[in-house]
Amino acid sequence: MFNLFNNKKDALRTTLKNNPLLVDVRTRVEFLQGSVEGAVNIPLDNIENNIAKFKSKPSVVVFCRSGGRASAAVHLLHQHGVENVTNGGSWQDVRDLLKQL
């Protein structure tokens, strides 16, 4: 049986192996409560002001609490020509996958 969730998870795992820019798009307060080691905090409201930081990276993984804000960040980045971005879902999912590498 085809399992879309596992395929997305496998794709994310492959992306994470290539040392992408890890971006937590939650608020600063949320970020300070815990995030992925090595991640930078660029809240969703500040994505458009930081487009240049994304364009120079070969790959980017964005994440948040549940994946919703990350999805919005992916959409914004695509509107600005940044195609090398992946929605990592929740910060805990990204953290757990990184621990498996």
Residue ranges and CATH numbers for the domains of the chain are 20-100 (3.40.250.10)
The span from the CA of 18 to the CA of 58, in Å, is 9
- H/E element, 93: helix 91-100
What would the pLDDT profile of 4-54 be if each residue is shown by its tens digit?
456 888 889 999 999 999 999 999 999 999 999 999 999 999 999 999 999
- Whether the full predicted model's pTM is greater than 0.75, yes or no, is yes
pLDDT of the residue at 5: 54
What would the pLDDT profile of 44-83 be if each residue is shown by its tens digit?
999 999 999 998 899 999 999 999 999 999 999 999 999 9
CB-based contact 72:45 (threshold 8 Å): no
Q: Which residue has the tokens 């399992």?
A: 3
CB contact set of 89 (below 8 Å; sequence gap of 6+): 12, 63, 66, 67, 70
pLDDT of the residue at 12: 93
The span from the CA of 62 to the CA of 88, in Å, is 6
